[in-house]
Structure 1
Amino acid sequence: MNNAIFEQDAVVLAFLLIILAAVLYTANSPLPFFRKFYQVVPPILLCYFLPGILNTAGVISGDNSAVYTVASQFLLPASLILLIMGVDLKEIWKLRKKAGLMFIAAALGIVIGGPLAVIIGKALLPGVIVGGEGEDASWRGLGTVAASWTGGSANMAAMYEVFKPSARLYSGMIALDVLISNIWLATLLYGVHKKKKINQWLRADDGDTAGLEQQFKNTNTVERRMATMPEMMLILAVGLGATGLAHLLIGKIVPWIKAVAPQLARFNLTNEFLWLIILTTTFGVLLSFTRARNLERIGSTTVGNVFLYILIASIGMKMNILNVFDTPGLIVIGFIWIAIHAVVIFLVARMFKISYFFLAVASEASVGGVPTASAVAAGFSPALVPVAVLLSVMGYAVGNYAGYICGMLMQWVC
């Protein structure tokens, strides 16, 4: 959106904070109207969706604003540090088997879903939905989306260099990626609100995650107190200071890898954002074994959640609902594709009696990446964010391979 009414970043940030304050305040209101309203509409969904409406209406511009850049480069890493250092990582480790199985199912749902979606699309509208020749061949663009939905934007960019779609086609793929992934994120966030009913259908025992959530709640309610001014500054120094250290190290690590071992680019190890997540996650883990973990008692997780919710709003701000009209044929493929992905992960979860938490976080770790997967996990409990981070980092590692295989399969069926 090039001609938004309000383009100054300070004004855009003000809009996002007003939305967050209004939603979270009314979500905790005792008034009957709000209590009934939020029984139907999850607060976190509104925090995500309302900025998207403002962007679509041209009130603000997600594309031209630096708010998301700041949120993803500074607030997200700091949030991860503050949230991870305050949890019991031994309990998190117990969840690894279910998380790993759902991660495999989520990636598989994308890899097999792409070619199946093409086959179904060709049957529904032969010669209309997919086609093209040379650099305009649909499979070239869809292959980049496959990499994004099994890894992230860095994987999508990598497969762009492999499949070489035309600029016009790739632009449409970016719109498809953003639109479908945003709708899927909204669906998963809404499902958090209905997790008990979903878990009943999945026949899932949610005792492990529920126990961790309860542990987190008990820590908050029993041991917590308001931080003093020096203590709050200490919390900010730990979160943002460690983030600054990560950026400093990235400036040394990435150029060194490019010079010494450029072949590691195939594993995305020359991607700065991947290293930002790896380093800040590592810092959070290390701090959890020190006295810094005691900062959770005075509100470090609250600060981390504030940063995370600003990120959620800034992600929503980049959504433009009208993009659906840019490539209507391939958008149909996208909806069929994500539906197949959904069928696969729900069937696997039901077969192995795995809770909705693992399903939702593993799916978003594939389709969205660290920021949105963390947002989904936070919808369950901030104590569970480390699981989302771990799965997302795994996605970055396999995204290029999964995207390439899926692209080749789609070329074969096109």
Structure 2
Amino acid sequence: MGVMIALANFQNKFNTWNGADNSTIKRVNEDIATDMQRNVKPLQLPQLFGILGIGMAGSYIIRVLAGMDFIPKSDIMSTSTWSFIIITAVGIALSFTKVRNLEYYGASKIGYLGIFLYLPGIGAQANLADIVQSPQFLLMGVVWLSIHILCIFGAARLLKAPLFFVAVGSQGNIGGTSSAPIVASVFQPALAPIGLLMGILGNVVGIYAYAALLCGQLARMVAGG
């Protein structure tokens, strides 16, 4: 993520070298910024409770539903896997309703706050001493990321894609919805929603095209399970 953010300083040079047309991205950035300025509303208690209520109640209900006995489970298709499948579908469905207007009250900012609290909580549970005992997993990560970098820059060169799509697309695959919007906002301040959409698209492809399940099975094979 740090590397992707640092690349923002070189996007003009990269686009010139790659022959990429960045004018559409700049125009969309300006259009979204204008739309947000025109429609943004102050966050009040009803909207705040609505955002928190939908997020918390929805997460709890989906988690309970994913853990029910009638939903088939396996080593890979666990309760967590089903939770991601259901919550992705629900999120996409709600985007076609009036619930999407909560974005004008700062729904994404509240969501980012929740993510920023959640991610350190996960990291705090890690035992750094285990790194010394399992260096092969670090090597595996380096190999996988190297393949990812070669593929994404190869595709960018072939498609003459702007660096914005390279960085946000990469972060959308690696970090998902939690960090792709951050990288997008560094490249183009108003395009954080585009980063979020690309992260969601990565989830959709991973979940509904079985790419994530395939990666899970490969990881299980590597771990010898």
Q: Which residue of 1 aligns with 2:62?
A: 250
Query: Do the aligned partners of residues 286 and 403 (structure 1) sit closer, same or farther apart at CA in structure 2, a change above 3 Å counting?
Result: same
Q: Which residue of 2 aligns with 1:200?
A: 16
Partner Cα distance (1:312, 1:365) in 2: 16
- 2:172–2:198 contact (8 Å) kept in structure 1: no
Q: Are positions 1:271 and 2:78 aligned together? A: no
Partner Cα distance (1:246, 1:194) in 2: 41
Q: Are positions 1:367 and 2:209 aligned together? A: no
After TM superposition, give the deviation of residue 352 of structure 1 in Å: 0.8
After TM superposition, give the deviation of residue 246 of structure 1 in Å: 1.7
Query: Do the aligned partners of residues 292 and 334 (structure 1) sit closer, same or farther apart at CA in structure 2, a change above 3 Å counting?
Result: closer
Cα deviation digits, residues 23-69 of structure 1 (max 9, x gap): xxxxxxxxxxxxxxxxxxxxxxxxxxxxxxxxxxxxxxxxxxxxxxx
The amino acid across from 2:197 in the alignment is P
Secondary structure of 1:286's partner? coil
Q: Which residue of 2 aligns with 1:116?
A: none
The amino acid across from 2:44 in the alignment is M
Partner Cα distance (2:52, 2:143) in 1: 41
Q: Are positions 1:399 and 2:212 aligned together? A: yes
Q: Which residue of 2 aligns with 1:315?
A: 119
After TM superposition, give the deviation of residue 343 of structure 1 in Å: 1.6
Q: Which residue of 1 aligns with 2:101?
A: 293
After TM superposition, give the deviation of residue 248 of structure 1 in Å: 4.7
Q: Are positions 1:212 and 2:40 aligned together? A: no
After TM superposition, give the deviation of residue 338 of structure 1 in Å: 1.5
Per the normalisation by structure 1, the TM-score is 0.43
Percent identical among aligned pairs is 17
Unmatched segments (≥5 aa) in structure 2: none
- 1:201–1:350 contact (8 Å) kept in structure 2: no
Q: Which residue of 1 aligns with 2:108?
A: 304
Cα deviation digits, residues 325-351 of structure 1 (max 9, x gap): 454455344324312321221011111
Secondary structure of 2:21's partner? coil
- 2:176–2:203 contact (8 Å) kept in structure 1: yes
Q: Which residue of 2 aligns with 1:235?
A: 47
Partner Cα distance (1:295, 1:332) in 2: 41
Q: Are positions 1:376 and 2:173 aligned together? A: no
Q: Which residue of 2 aligns with 1:282?
A: 93
After TM superposition, give the deviation of residue 233 of structure 1 in Å: 1.6
Q: Which residue of 2 aligns with 1:45?
A: none
> Pairwise CA RMSD of aligned residues?
3.8
- 1:369–1:395 contact (8 Å) kept in structure 2: no
Secondary structure of 2:161's partner? coil
**RCO (CA 8 Å, sep 6+): is it higher in 1 or 2?**
1
Query: Do the aligned partners of residues 326 and 208 (structure 1) sit closer, same or farther apart at CA in structure 2, a change above 3 Å counting?
Result: farther
Query: Do the aligned partners of residues 355 and 198 (structure 1) sit closer, same or farther apart at CA in structure 2, a change above 3 Å counting?
Result: same
After TM superposition, give the deviation of residue 394 of structure 1 in Å: 1.9
Query: Do the aligned partners of residues 252 and 327 (structure 1) sit closer, same or farther apart at CA in structure 2, a change above 3 Å counting?
Result: closer
Partner Cα distance (2:117, 2:63) in 1: 28
- 1:267–1:400 contact (8 Å) kept in structure 2: no
Partner Cα distance (2:174, 2:182) in 1: 13
Query: Do the aligned partners of residues 323 and 217 (structure 1) sit closer, same or farther apart at CA in structure 2, a change above 3 Å counting?
Result: farther
Secondary structure of 1:194's partner? helix
Unmatched segments (≥5 aa) in structure 1: 1-184
Per the normalisation by structure 2, the TM-score is 0.71
More displaced, 356-365 or 317-326? 317-326
Aligned residues: 214
The amino acid across from 1:382 in the alignment is A
